[in-house]
């Protein structure tokens, strides 16, 4: 209930993508993160904001230098990578792979860091995180 006691407060969800699809996406993003490095995959867009999302937006953010190594024919200042054949092939292929693995309509894209930070100020949720286990079980340190 709210402080006034009149109506229950709504809890904001971390994402409106349901389980087990979000778990499948998390696992698939672990593989993508290991393959490409960079800053990793992020869930962005409407699936973070509302239940009636159209597709699930996943962005692989790379440093500008990493992006240029992967896509050497693009001009970062012209933002022309969406016409680059390698970018298109990799983006479409990974989108289709993620859709097949998760059963979700996925919009996957590679983005350079400067562009992602300058153009997209809404929340991002990191995907595909891996946590390192302690070298010794807790309580066993000596």
Is residue 62 within a helix (H) or strand (E), and if so which, with residue range? strand 56-62
Residues ≥6 apart with Cβ < 8 Å to 34: none
What tokens appear for 83 in the block?
């016409």
Full-model pTM: 0.83
Query: What are 13-68's pLDDT values in tens digits?
Result: 789 999 999 999 999 999 999 999 899 999 999 999 999 999 999 999 999 999 99
Identify the pLDDT of residue 139: 67
Domain edges within the chain:
39-127
Write the DSSP symbol of residue 55. S
pLDDT at res. 1: 44
């Amino acid at each position: 209930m709210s402080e006034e006691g009149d109506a229950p407060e709504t809890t904001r969800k971390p994402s409106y993508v349901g389980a087990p699809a979000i778990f499948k996406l998390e696992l698939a993003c672990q593989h993508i993160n290991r393959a490409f490095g960079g800053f990793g995959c992020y869930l962005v867009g409407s699936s973070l904001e509302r239940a009636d999302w159209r597709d699930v937006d996943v962005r692989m953010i790379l440093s500008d230098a990493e992006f240029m190594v992967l896509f050497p024919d693009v001009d970062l200042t012209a933002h022309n990578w969406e016409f680059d054949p390698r970018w298109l092939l990799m983006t479409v292929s990974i989108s289709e792979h993620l859709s097949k693995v998760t059963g979700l309509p996925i919009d996957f894209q590679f983005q350079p860091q400067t562009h992602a930070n300058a153009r997209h100020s809404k929340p991002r949720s990191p995907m595909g995180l891996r946590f390192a286990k302690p070298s010794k079980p807790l309580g066993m340190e000596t």
